[in-house]
Amino acid sequence: MEIKLEYTRKRSEFGRPCTFSDLPGEVTVDIPPDPSLAAEFIPQDPVSDVSVSPAQVNTERVEVTSQGVNHVEGGWPKHIDPRNSDMTTRFREEVERDEIYTRSILHLGTLMERCIRQNNAINIYEEYFGEDEEQEEEEIPSAKTISVLRDPNEVRRMATHLSWHPDACKELAVAYCSLDFQDKRSDMSFDSYIWDLGNPYKPELTLLLSSPAVTLEYNPKDWHHVLGGCYNGQIVYWDTRKGGLTVEVTPMEFSHRDPVYGVSWLPSRTGTECFSASTDGQVLWWDIRKLSQPSDRLVLDITREDQLKNALGAISLDFSLSMPTKFLVGTEQGSIINCNRDAKTPPEKIANVFRGHIGAVYAVARSPFYPKVFLSVGDWTARIWSEEILDSSSIMETKCHVPYLLDGCWSPVKPAVFFTARSDGTLDVWDFLFHQKNPSLSLKVSNEPLFSLCPQDNGRIIGCGTKQGTVTLLEISSGFCTLRKNEKSLASTMFEREARREKALLDKQRELQVREQLLAQAKGQEEKEDPQEVFKQTRTEFFSIIKAEKRRRGDAE
Protein backbone atom coordinates (compact mmCIF):
# COMPACT_ATOMS: atom_id res chain seq x y z
CA MET A 1 0.00 0.00 0.00
CA GLU A 2 1.46 3.32 -1.08
CA ILE A 3 0.85 6.46 1.04
CA LYS A 4 0.83 9.82 -0.68
CA LEU A 5 0.49 13.34 0.73
CA GLU A 6 -0.66 16.04 -1.61
CA TYR A 7 -0.36 19.77 -0.95
CA THR A 8 -2.46 22.16 -2.99
CA ARG A 9 -2.00 25.87 -3.47
CA LYS A 10 -3.40 28.45 -5.83
CA ARG A 11 -1.24 29.45 -8.74
CA SER A 12 -1.80 33.14 -7.95
CA GLU A 13 -0.05 32.73 -4.59
CA PHE A 14 3.24 31.49 -6.14
CA GLY A 15 5.86 34.24 -6.28
CA ARG A 16 3.65 36.83 -4.61
CA PRO A 17 5.82 39.89 -3.63
CA CYS A 18 6.17 40.75 0.06
CA THR A 19 4.79 44.09 1.20
CA PHE A 20 6.33 45.70 4.29
CA SER A 21 4.96 48.73 6.17
CA ASP A 22 5.67 50.67 9.40
CA LEU A 23 3.23 49.94 12.24
CA PRO A 24 3.22 51.38 15.77
CA GLY A 25 4.13 49.10 18.67
CA GLU A 26 1.34 47.29 20.50
CA VAL A 27 1.10 45.40 23.78
CA THR A 28 -0.04 41.85 23.26
CA VAL A 29 -0.02 40.63 26.91
CA ASP A 30 -0.08 42.62 30.19
CA ILE A 31 0.21 40.66 33.46
CA PRO A 32 -0.18 42.89 36.53
CA PRO A 33 1.65 41.98 39.81
CA ASP A 34 -0.13 39.91 42.42
CA PRO A 35 -0.16 41.74 45.81
CA SER A 36 -0.59 38.47 47.72
CA LEU A 37 2.87 37.29 46.64
CA ALA A 38 4.65 40.40 47.99
CA ALA A 39 4.57 39.07 51.57
CA GLU A 40 6.49 35.92 50.56
CA PHE A 41 9.40 37.90 49.02
CA ILE A 42 12.63 37.74 51.15
CA PRO A 43 15.13 40.54 50.47
CA GLN A 44 18.81 39.47 50.58
CA ASP A 45 21.85 41.65 51.19
CA PRO A 46 24.71 41.55 48.68
CA VAL A 47 26.90 38.49 49.22
CA SER A 48 30.31 39.42 50.65
CA ASP A 49 31.61 36.07 52.00
CA VAL A 50 32.52 33.89 49.04
CA SER A 51 34.31 30.65 49.86
CA VAL A 52 36.57 29.33 47.09
CA SER A 53 38.00 25.84 47.26
CA PRO A 54 41.60 25.50 46.06
CA ALA A 55 41.91 23.28 43.04
CA GLN A 56 44.44 22.62 40.30
CA VAL A 57 44.35 20.96 36.94
CA ASN A 58 47.29 19.17 35.37
CA THR A 59 46.92 18.82 31.64
CA GLU A 60 47.98 15.59 30.04
CA ARG A 61 51.26 15.58 28.17
CA VAL A 62 50.89 15.54 24.43
CA GLU A 63 53.26 12.99 22.98
CA VAL A 64 54.29 13.68 19.42
CA THR A 65 55.81 11.03 17.20
CA SER A 66 58.01 11.77 14.21
CA GLN A 67 57.24 9.81 11.05
CA GLY A 68 58.87 9.96 7.68
CA VAL A 69 58.28 8.81 4.13
CA ASN A 70 61.02 7.17 2.10
CA HIS A 71 60.82 8.38 -1.50
CA VAL A 72 62.28 6.02 -4.10
CA GLU A 73 62.72 6.35 -7.83
CA GLY A 74 59.47 5.72 -9.68
CA GLY A 75 57.38 6.69 -12.70
CA TRP A 76 58.80 4.01 -14.99
CA PRO A 77 56.63 2.19 -17.54
CA LYS A 78 55.37 -1.24 -16.59
CA HIS A 79 57.73 -3.02 -18.96
CA ILE A 80 60.80 -1.31 -17.40
CA ASP A 81 62.37 -2.79 -14.27
CA PRO A 82 63.94 0.07 -12.23
CA ARG A 83 66.42 -2.35 -10.68
CA ASN A 84 67.82 -3.28 -14.09
CA SER A 85 70.38 -0.62 -15.00
CA ASP A 86 70.58 -1.74 -18.66
CA MET A 87 66.85 -1.36 -19.25
CA THR A 88 66.70 2.06 -17.54
CA THR A 89 69.72 3.28 -19.53
CA ARG A 90 68.19 2.22 -22.87
CA PHE A 91 64.87 3.85 -21.96
CA ARG A 92 66.62 7.12 -21.07
CA GLU A 93 68.46 7.13 -24.39
CA GLU A 94 65.19 6.62 -26.28
CA VAL A 95 63.54 9.49 -24.43
CA GLU A 96 66.50 11.81 -24.95
CA ARG A 97 66.42 11.17 -28.73
CA ASP A 98 62.77 12.30 -28.86
CA GLU A 99 62.27 15.73 -30.50
CA ILE A 100 59.63 16.74 -27.94
CA TYR A 101 62.09 16.12 -25.12
CA THR A 102 64.75 18.22 -26.86
CA ARG A 103 62.36 21.13 -27.47
CA SER A 104 61.18 21.02 -23.82
CA ILE A 105 64.71 21.09 -22.50
CA LEU A 106 65.67 23.99 -24.77
CA HIS A 107 62.60 25.96 -23.71
CA LEU A 108 63.12 25.33 -19.99
CA GLY A 109 66.84 26.05 -20.32
CA THR A 110 66.08 29.52 -21.70
CA LEU A 111 63.81 30.31 -18.77
CA MET A 112 66.36 28.98 -16.26
CA GLU A 113 69.17 30.99 -17.86
CA ARG A 114 67.09 34.17 -17.56
CA CYS A 115 66.45 33.54 -13.85
CA ILE A 116 70.13 32.85 -13.20
CA ARG A 117 71.19 36.04 -14.96
CA GLN A 118 68.61 37.99 -12.97
CA ASN A 119 69.92 36.58 -9.68
CA ASN A 120 73.50 37.45 -10.62
CA ALA A 121 72.52 41.00 -11.55
CA ILE A 122 70.74 41.90 -8.29
CA ASN A 123 71.75 40.85 -4.77
CA ILE A 124 68.41 40.64 -3.01
CA TYR A 125 70.12 39.90 0.34
CA GLU A 126 72.32 43.01 0.38
CA GLU A 127 72.00 45.10 3.56
CA TYR A 128 72.03 48.83 2.91
CA PHE A 129 71.39 50.06 6.45
CA GLY A 130 73.48 47.72 8.58
CA GLU A 131 75.28 50.53 10.44
CA ASP A 132 72.00 52.24 11.29
CA GLU A 133 70.66 49.02 12.79
CA GLU A 134 73.70 48.75 15.06
CA GLN A 135 73.05 52.24 16.40
CA GLU A 136 69.53 51.31 17.47
CA GLU A 137 68.76 50.69 21.12
CA GLU A 138 69.83 47.28 22.36
CA GLU A 139 67.24 44.90 23.70
CA ILE A 140 67.12 44.03 27.36
CA PRO A 141 69.20 40.90 28.19
CA SER A 142 66.85 37.98 28.56
CA ALA A 143 66.48 34.23 28.06
CA LYS A 144 63.55 31.90 27.62
CA THR A 145 63.04 28.16 27.92
CA ILE A 146 62.32 26.46 24.60
CA SER A 147 62.46 22.80 25.62
CA VAL A 148 63.02 20.49 28.59
CA LEU A 149 64.54 16.99 28.35
CA ARG A 150 63.87 14.78 31.37
CA ASP A 151 65.56 11.54 32.36
CA PRO A 152 63.01 8.83 31.45
CA ASN A 153 64.06 6.64 34.39
CA GLU A 154 62.31 6.77 37.73
CA VAL A 155 65.60 6.82 39.65
CA ARG A 156 67.04 10.23 38.85
CA ARG A 157 70.71 10.74 37.97
CA MET A 158 72.87 13.76 37.22
CA ALA A 159 73.23 15.13 33.69
CA THR A 160 77.02 15.24 33.94
CA HIS A 161 77.94 16.22 30.36
CA LEU A 162 76.31 17.52 27.15
CA SER A 163 77.53 17.30 23.56
CA TRP A 164 75.81 18.80 20.48
CA HIS A 165 75.68 17.04 17.14
CA PRO A 166 78.22 18.67 14.77
CA ASP A 167 75.67 18.89 11.93
CA ALA A 168 73.49 21.94 12.70
CA CYS A 169 73.14 20.85 16.36
CA LYS A 170 69.98 18.87 15.60
CA GLU A 171 70.71 16.26 18.28
CA LEU A 172 72.07 16.38 21.83
CA ALA A 173 73.98 13.60 23.58
CA VAL A 174 73.52 13.59 27.37
CA ALA A 175 75.64 11.56 29.80
CA TYR A 176 73.73 10.47 32.93
CA CYS A 177 75.65 9.36 36.01
CA SER A 178 75.39 9.60 39.79
CA LEU A 179 78.57 11.10 41.27
CA ASP A 180 77.39 10.90 44.88
CA PHE A 181 79.75 9.03 47.19
CA GLN A 182 78.84 5.34 47.54
CA ASP A 183 75.54 5.67 45.69
CA LYS A 184 74.58 1.99 45.37
CA ARG A 185 70.93 2.12 44.36
CA SER A 186 70.18 -1.24 42.78
CA ASP A 187 67.43 0.02 40.48
CA MET A 188 69.52 2.81 38.96
CA SER A 189 69.92 2.68 35.18
CA PHE A 190 73.34 2.88 33.50
CA ASP A 191 72.04 4.12 30.11
CA SER A 192 72.70 7.48 28.49
CA TYR A 193 70.65 9.00 25.68
CA ILE A 194 70.76 10.95 22.44
CA TRP A 195 67.85 13.36 22.10
CA ASP A 196 66.27 14.79 18.97
CA LEU A 197 65.17 18.39 19.53
CA GLY A 198 62.09 17.77 17.41
CA ASN A 199 60.84 15.13 19.85
CA PRO A 200 61.74 16.10 23.45
CA TYR A 201 59.45 13.47 25.02
CA LYS A 202 61.33 10.34 24.02
CA PRO A 203 65.07 9.73 23.42
CA GLU A 204 66.11 9.21 19.83
CA LEU A 205 68.71 6.58 20.77
CA THR A 206 69.56 4.75 24.00
CA LEU A 207 73.27 4.18 24.60
CA LEU A 208 73.57 0.89 26.49
CA LEU A 209 76.39 0.61 29.02
CA SER A 210 77.71 -1.70 31.72
CA SER A 211 78.89 1.31 33.75
CA PRO A 212 77.42 4.85 33.77
CA ALA A 213 78.92 7.35 31.33
CA VAL A 214 80.41 10.46 32.94
CA THR A 215 81.17 12.22 29.65
CA LEU A 216 80.22 11.91 25.95
CA GLU A 217 81.68 13.57 22.84
CA TYR A 218 80.64 13.55 19.19
CA ASN A 219 83.36 13.02 16.59
CA PRO A 220 83.60 16.28 14.60
CA LYS A 221 84.94 14.40 11.57
CA ASP A 222 82.67 11.35 11.59
CA TRP A 223 79.31 12.40 13.07
CA HIS A 224 78.15 8.82 13.64
CA HIS A 225 80.89 8.07 16.18
CA VAL A 226 80.28 8.97 19.84
CA LEU A 227 83.06 8.63 22.43
CA GLY A 228 82.33 8.00 26.11
CA GLY A 229 84.20 7.88 29.40
CA CYS A 230 82.71 5.59 32.06
CA TYR A 231 82.55 5.70 35.84
CA ASN A 232 84.65 2.52 36.12
CA GLY A 233 87.47 4.06 34.04
CA GLN A 234 86.75 2.38 30.67
CA ILE A 235 86.59 4.15 27.29
CA VAL A 236 83.79 3.16 24.92
CA TYR A 237 82.52 4.32 21.56
CA TRP A 238 79.33 3.86 19.55
CA ASP A 239 78.38 3.97 15.90
CA THR A 240 74.87 5.44 15.88
CA ARG A 241 74.14 3.76 12.55
CA LYS A 242 74.42 0.38 14.30
CA GLY A 243 72.20 1.23 17.28
CA GLY A 244 72.88 1.75 20.97
CA LEU A 245 75.26 -1.17 21.57
CA THR A 246 78.92 -0.27 22.06
CA VAL A 247 81.25 -1.10 19.19
CA GLU A 248 84.32 -1.61 21.36
CA VAL A 249 85.34 -1.14 25.01
CA THR A 250 88.80 -0.80 26.53
CA PRO A 251 89.89 -3.70 28.80
CA MET A 252 89.83 -3.02 32.52
CA GLU A 253 93.53 -3.79 33.04
CA PHE A 254 94.59 -1.05 30.60
CA SER A 255 91.88 1.49 31.44
CA HIS A 256 91.78 4.24 34.04
CA ARG A 257 91.45 3.33 37.69
CA ASP A 258 89.00 6.13 38.52
CA PRO A 259 86.06 7.77 36.71
CA VAL A 260 86.88 9.38 33.37
CA TYR A 261 85.89 13.05 33.61
CA GLY A 262 87.15 14.20 30.20
CA VAL A 263 87.49 12.77 26.68
CA SER A 264 88.27 14.53 23.44
CA TRP A 265 88.82 13.66 19.78
CA LEU A 266 92.12 14.55 18.14
CA PRO A 267 92.51 16.02 14.62
CA SER A 268 94.04 13.15 12.67
CA ARG A 269 93.96 11.90 9.11
CA THR A 270 91.77 8.94 10.01
CA GLY A 271 89.60 10.74 12.57
CA THR A 272 89.92 7.80 14.99
CA GLU A 273 92.40 9.13 17.58
CA CYS A 274 91.31 10.43 20.97
CA PHE A 275 92.55 10.88 24.54
CA SER A 276 91.08 10.81 28.05
CA ALA A 277 91.79 12.14 31.53
CA SER A 278 90.77 10.75 34.91
CA THR A 279 91.09 11.41 38.62
CA ASP A 280 93.65 8.60 38.82
CA GLY A 281 96.22 11.17 37.58
CA GLN A 282 96.70 9.78 34.07
CA VAL A 283 96.09 11.03 30.54
CA LEU A 284 95.80 8.18 28.02
CA TRP A 285 95.78 8.35 24.22
CA TRP A 286 93.68 5.86 22.20
CA ASP A 287 92.81 4.79 18.68
CA ILE A 288 89.26 3.45 18.36
CA ARG A 289 90.41 1.00 15.72
CA LYS A 290 92.42 -0.73 18.45
CA LEU A 291 91.22 -0.08 21.99
CA SER A 292 93.05 -3.07 23.46
CA GLN A 293 95.67 -0.76 24.99
CA PRO A 294 96.53 2.97 24.97
CA SER A 295 98.97 4.33 22.43
CA ASP A 296 100.57 6.82 24.85
CA ARG A 297 100.46 7.78 28.53
CA LEU A 298 101.14 10.86 30.66
CA VAL A 299 101.27 11.03 34.46
CA LEU A 300 100.13 14.39 35.86
CA ASP A 301 103.04 14.70 38.28
CA ILE A 302 103.90 18.41 38.62
CA THR A 303 107.16 17.48 40.38
CA ARG A 304 108.17 16.06 36.97
CA GLU A 305 109.31 12.77 38.48
CA ASP A 306 106.73 10.76 36.50
CA GLN A 307 105.47 9.05 39.65
CA LEU A 308 101.83 8.00 39.79
CA LYS A 309 101.75 8.35 43.58
CA ASN A 310 102.48 12.09 43.21
CA ALA A 311 99.99 12.65 40.36
CA LEU A 312 97.12 15.14 40.60
CA GLY A 313 93.62 13.93 39.75
CA ALA A 314 92.14 15.37 36.54
CA ILE A 315 88.52 16.48 36.88
CA SER A 316 88.22 18.60 33.69
CA LEU A 317 89.83 18.56 30.26
CA ASP A 318 89.96 20.98 27.34
CA PHE A 319 91.38 20.60 23.84
CA SER A 320 91.18 23.23 21.11
CA LEU A 321 91.88 22.85 17.40
CA SER A 322 93.60 26.24 17.43
CA MET A 323 96.48 24.66 19.41
CA PRO A 324 96.55 20.99 18.29
CA THR A 325 99.60 20.02 20.35
CA LYS A 326 98.51 21.52 23.69
CA PHE A 327 95.69 20.78 26.10
CA LEU A 328 94.58 21.97 29.53
CA VAL A 329 93.79 19.81 32.56
CA GLY A 330 91.92 21.01 35.65
CA THR A 331 92.75 19.07 38.81
CA GLU A 332 91.02 18.24 42.07
CA GLN A 333 93.72 20.14 43.99
CA GLY A 334 92.92 23.50 42.36
CA SER A 335 95.80 23.61 39.85
CA ILE A 336 95.58 23.93 36.08
CA ILE A 337 98.20 22.03 34.08
CA ASN A 338 99.13 23.16 30.58
CA CYS A 339 100.45 20.10 28.72
CA ASN A 340 102.34 19.76 25.45
CA ARG A 341 102.13 16.36 23.77
CA ASP A 342 104.98 17.03 21.31
CA ALA A 343 107.56 17.18 24.09
CA LYS A 344 110.18 14.44 24.02
CA THR A 345 110.11 13.27 27.64
CA PRO A 346 107.13 12.94 30.03
CA PRO A 347 108.39 15.64 32.44
CA GLU A 348 108.69 18.09 29.53
CA LYS A 349 105.09 17.41 28.54
CA ILE A 350 103.96 19.32 31.64
CA ALA A 351 104.74 22.80 30.35
CA ASN A 352 103.22 25.09 33.00
CA VAL A 353 101.19 24.91 36.19
CA PHE A 354 98.72 27.66 37.13
CA ARG A 355 97.57 27.91 40.75
CA GLY A 356 94.71 30.05 42.00
CA HIS A 357 91.65 28.03 42.97
CA ILE A 358 91.08 26.76 46.49
CA GLY A 359 88.98 23.77 45.49
CA ALA A 360 88.63 21.53 42.45
CA VAL A 361 88.68 23.07 38.97
CA TYR A 362 85.36 21.85 37.59
CA ALA A 363 85.78 23.41 34.13
CA VAL A 364 88.60 24.75 31.99
CA ALA A 365 88.11 26.14 28.48
CA ARG A 366 90.41 27.87 26.01
CA SER A 367 89.04 30.97 24.30
CA PRO A 368 87.86 30.30 20.72
CA PHE A 369 89.16 33.73 19.65
CA TYR A 370 92.44 34.06 21.61
CA PRO A 371 94.22 30.69 22.01
CA LYS A 372 96.52 31.95 24.79
CA VAL A 373 93.60 33.02 26.99
CA PHE A 374 91.59 30.42 28.88
CA LEU A 375 88.80 30.27 31.45
CA SER A 376 88.65 28.20 34.63
CA VAL A 377 85.77 27.59 37.04
CA GLY A 378 86.24 26.36 40.58
CA ASP A 379 85.32 27.02 44.24
CA TRP A 380 83.33 30.30 44.22
CA THR A 381 84.90 32.16 41.28
CA ALA A 382 85.56 32.00 37.56
CA ARG A 383 89.01 33.17 36.45
CA ILE A 384 90.58 34.19 33.13
CA TRP A 385 94.26 33.35 32.59
CA SER A 386 96.95 34.16 30.04
CA GLU A 387 99.64 31.68 29.04
CA GLU A 388 102.10 34.55 28.54
CA ILE A 389 102.23 35.16 32.30
CA LEU A 390 103.62 32.06 33.95
CA ASP A 391 103.36 31.10 37.62
CA SER A 392 101.10 34.02 38.47
CA SER A 393 97.54 34.73 39.39
CA SER A 394 94.72 35.18 36.89
CA ILE A 395 94.45 38.39 34.88
CA MET A 396 90.70 38.72 35.53
CA GLU A 397 88.16 37.05 37.79
CA THR A 398 84.54 37.27 38.86
CA LYS A 399 83.31 38.14 42.31
CA CYS A 400 83.04 35.43 44.97
CA HIS A 401 79.60 33.85 44.93
CA VAL A 402 77.88 32.34 47.93
CA PRO A 403 77.03 29.04 46.12
CA TYR A 404 79.67 26.95 44.38
CA LEU A 405 80.36 27.28 40.66
CA LEU A 406 80.13 23.87 38.99
CA ASP A 407 80.70 24.54 35.27
CA GLY A 408 81.51 27.25 32.76
CA CYS A 409 82.19 27.80 29.06
CA TRP A 410 82.91 30.55 26.53
CA SER A 411 80.42 31.91 24.03
CA PRO A 412 81.35 30.61 20.55
CA VAL A 413 80.42 33.90 18.83
CA LYS A 414 81.35 36.73 21.26
CA PRO A 415 84.94 36.98 22.56
CA ALA A 416 84.19 38.53 25.99
CA VAL A 417 81.04 36.55 26.89
CA PHE A 418 81.09 33.39 29.00
CA PHE A 419 78.60 31.37 31.03
CA THR A 420 78.81 29.97 34.57
CA ALA A 421 76.56 27.47 36.37
CA ARG A 422 75.93 27.74 40.11
CA SER A 423 74.95 25.15 42.68
CA ASP A 424 71.72 27.02 43.48
CA GLY A 425 70.40 26.40 39.94
CA THR A 426 71.27 29.84 38.52
CA LEU A 427 72.85 30.48 35.12
CA ASP A 428 75.03 33.61 34.90
CA VAL A 429 75.91 35.27 31.60
CA TRP A 430 78.99 37.51 31.86
CA ASP A 431 80.08 40.13 29.34
CA PHE A 432 83.37 41.61 30.54
CA LEU A 433 83.27 44.40 27.94
CA PHE A 434 80.26 45.92 29.74
CA HIS A 435 80.20 44.59 33.31
CA GLN A 436 83.04 43.00 35.28
CA LYS A 437 81.63 43.14 38.82
CA ASN A 438 78.21 41.60 38.17
CA PRO A 439 76.81 39.28 35.47
CA SER A 440 74.86 40.84 32.63
CA LEU A 441 72.09 38.26 33.12
CA SER A 442 71.25 35.89 35.97
CA LEU A 443 68.51 33.35 35.33
CA LYS A 444 67.07 30.88 37.83
CA VAL A 445 66.87 27.71 35.74
CA SER A 446 66.12 25.11 38.40
CA ASN A 447 65.95 24.55 42.13
CA GLU A 448 68.58 21.84 41.71
CA PRO A 449 72.32 22.49 41.13
CA LEU A 450 73.41 23.00 37.52
CA PHE A 451 76.11 20.46 36.69
CA SER A 452 76.79 20.95 32.98
CA LEU A 453 76.64 23.65 30.28
CA CYS A 454 77.04 23.43 26.51
CA PRO A 455 76.11 26.15 23.97
CA GLN A 456 75.36 25.59 20.30
CA ASP A 457 77.81 26.77 17.64
CA ASN A 458 75.68 29.84 16.90
CA GLY A 459 75.59 30.80 20.58
CA ARG A 460 71.82 31.21 20.49
CA ILE A 461 70.78 28.12 22.46
CA ILE A 462 72.53 26.77 25.55
CA GLY A 463 71.83 23.49 27.31
CA CYS A 464 71.86 23.27 31.12
CA GLY A 465 71.97 19.89 32.91
CA THR A 466 70.83 19.58 36.53
CA LYS A 467 71.42 17.16 39.40
CA GLN A 468 68.06 15.47 38.79
CA GLY A 469 68.89 14.72 35.13
CA THR A 470 66.76 17.49 33.62
CA VAL A 471 68.28 19.28 30.62
CA THR A 472 66.81 22.73 29.99
CA LEU A 473 67.39 24.36 26.59
CA LEU A 474 67.47 28.16 26.83
CA GLU A 475 67.36 30.68 24.01
CA ILE A 476 69.23 33.84 24.97
CA SER A 477 68.62 37.29 23.52
CA SER A 478 70.38 38.39 20.34
CA GLY A 479 72.65 40.79 22.24
CA PHE A 480 74.62 37.83 23.62
CA CYS A 481 74.98 36.01 20.29
CA THR A 482 75.55 38.82 17.76
CA LEU A 483 79.11 39.99 17.12
CA ARG A 484 79.27 43.78 16.98
CA LYS A 485 81.66 46.06 15.18
CA ASN A 486 85.19 46.25 16.67
CA GLU A 487 84.23 43.84 19.46
CA LYS A 488 87.16 41.50 18.77
CA SER A 489 89.72 44.32 18.89
CA LEU A 490 88.19 45.74 22.08
CA ALA A 491 88.28 42.38 23.83
CA SER A 492 91.86 41.76 22.68
CA THR A 493 92.90 45.18 23.99
CA MET A 494 91.22 44.46 27.33
CA PHE A 495 92.99 41.12 27.79
CA GLU A 496 96.37 42.59 26.80
CA ARG A 497 95.90 45.51 29.19
CA GLU A 498 95.04 43.20 32.09
CA ALA A 499 98.00 40.96 31.23
CA ARG A 500 100.40 43.93 31.31
CA ARG A 501 98.92 45.08 34.61
CA GLU A 502 99.33 41.65 36.15
CA LYS A 503 102.88 41.42 34.85
CA ALA A 504 103.75 44.80 36.36
CA LEU A 505 102.30 43.77 39.71
CA LEU A 506 104.26 40.52 39.54
CA ASP A 507 107.51 42.38 38.86
CA LYS A 508 106.81 44.75 41.76
CA GLN A 509 106.12 41.82 44.07
CA ARG A 510 109.38 40.15 43.09
CA GLU A 511 111.25 43.40 43.72
CA LEU A 512 109.75 43.67 47.20
CA GLN A 513 110.64 40.06 47.93
CA VAL A 514 114.27 40.65 46.90
CA ARG A 515 114.41 43.78 49.09
CA GLU A 516 113.02 41.88 52.07
CA GLN A 517 115.61 39.16 51.56
CA LEU A 518 118.44 41.71 51.52
CA LEU A 519 117.15 43.36 54.69
CA ALA A 520 116.84 39.99 56.35
CA GLN A 521 120.43 39.14 55.39
CA ALA A 522 121.74 42.44 56.72
CA LYS A 523 119.85 41.99 59.94
CA GLY A 524 121.21 38.49 60.30
CA GLN A 525 124.79 39.73 59.94
CA GLU A 526 124.24 42.31 62.65
CA GLU A 527 122.87 39.67 64.98
CA LYS A 528 125.96 37.53 64.42
CA GLU A 529 128.36 40.28 65.82
CA ASP A 530 129.59 40.14 69.50
CA PRO A 531 127.51 42.39 71.81
CA GLN A 532 130.61 43.41 73.85
CA GLU A 533 132.40 44.60 70.75
CA VAL A 534 129.36 46.59 69.71
CA PHE A 535 129.20 48.16 73.20
CA LYS A 536 132.90 49.13 73.17
CA GLN A 537 132.59 50.62 69.69
CA THR A 538 129.55 52.63 70.72
CA ARG A 539 131.28 53.85 73.96
CA THR A 540 134.36 54.98 72.06
CA GLU A 541 132.25 56.87 69.50
CA PHE A 542 130.26 58.52 72.34
CA PHE A 543 133.32 59.85 74.23
CA SER A 544 135.02 60.99 71.03
CA ILE A 545 131.96 63.10 70.28
CA ILE A 546 132.06 64.63 73.81
CA LYS A 547 135.80 65.46 73.55
CA ALA A 548 135.27 67.07 70.17
CA GLU A 549 132.43 69.19 71.60
CA LYS A 550 134.60 70.36 74.57
CA ARG A 551 137.44 71.27 72.26
CA ARG A 552 135.07 73.31 70.09
CA ARG A 553 133.75 75.25 73.09
CA GLY A 554 137.25 75.92 74.42
CA ASP A 555 138.31 77.36 71.09
CA ALA A 556 135.22 79.54 71.05
CA GLU A 557 135.94 80.99 74.52
User: Would you say residue 249 lies in a domain?
Assistant: yes
User: Would you say residue 26 lies in a domain?
Assistant: no
User: Would you say residue 23 lies in a domain?
Assistant: no
User: Would you say residue 267 lies in a domain?
Assistant: yes
User: Would you say residue 405 lies in a domain?
Assistant: yes
CB 230 within 8 A of CB 211: yes
Distance between start and end Cα atoms, the chain: 175
> What's the order of all strands across the beta sheet hosting 282-287?
260-265, 273-278, 282-287, 296-299
Report the number of distinct structural domains present in the chain: 1
Alpha-carbon distance of 137 to 479, in angstroms, equals 11
CB 315 within 8 A of CB 332: yes
CB 254 within 8 A of CB 285: no
Per-position b or e across 220-259, b if 16+ CB within 10 A of its CB: eeeeebbbbbbbbbbbbbbbbeeebebeebbeeebbbebb
CB 176 within 8 A of CB 188: no
Domain span at residue 433 reads 143-487
CB 407 within 8 A of CB 160: no
Question: What pLDDT shows up at residue 126?
Answer: 78
Alpha-carbon distance of 269 to 272, in angstroms, equals 8
Q: Summarize pLDDT for 323-373 with one digit per residue, the tens.
A: 888 999 999 998 999 998 888 887 788 888 888 888 899 999 999 999 899
Amino acid at 65: T
Sign of the dihedral defined by the CA atoms of residues 94, 97, 98, 103, in that order: positive
Q: Summarize pLDDT for 250-291 with one digit per residue, the tens.
A: 999 999 999 999 999 998 888 899 999 999 999 999 999 889
CB 423 within 8 A of CB 406: yes
pLDDT band (50, 70, 90) for residue 374: very high
List the one residue out of 439, 407, 432, 429 whose CA is nearest residue 480. 429
Alpha-carbon distance of 268 to 288, in angstroms, equals 12
At residue 499, φ and ψ (nearest 5 deg) are -70, -40
In this predicted structure, the answer to whether residue 187 has a pLDDT above a threshold of 60 is: yes
Q: Summarize pLDDT for 56-115 with one digit per residue, the tens.
A: 666 777 777 777 777 666 678 878 877 788 888 888 888 888 888 888 988 999 999 988
Question: What pLDDT shows up at residue 133?
Answer: 52
User: Would you say residue 30 lies in a domain?
Assistant: no
Long-range contacts of 399-403 (CB under 8 A, 24+ apart): 399/437, 399/438, 403/449
Question: What pLDDT shows up at residue 61?
Answer: 73
CB 459 within 8 A of CB 481: yes
Cβ neighbours, 10 Å, residue 482: 14
Helix 85-96 vs helix 99-121: crossing angle, to nearest 10: 80
Amino acid at 147: S
In this predicted structure, the answer to whether residue 55 has a pLDDT above a threshold of 70 is: no
User: Would you say residue 393 lies in a domain?
Assistant: yes
CATH number at residue 183: 2.130.10.10
User: Would you say residue 504 lies in a domain?
Assistant: no
pTM above 0.85, yes or no: no
Alpha-carbon distance of 277 to 313, in angstroms, equals 9
Q: Which residues pair with 107 in a beta bridge?
A: none
Alpha-carbon distance of 252 to 235, in angstroms, equals 9
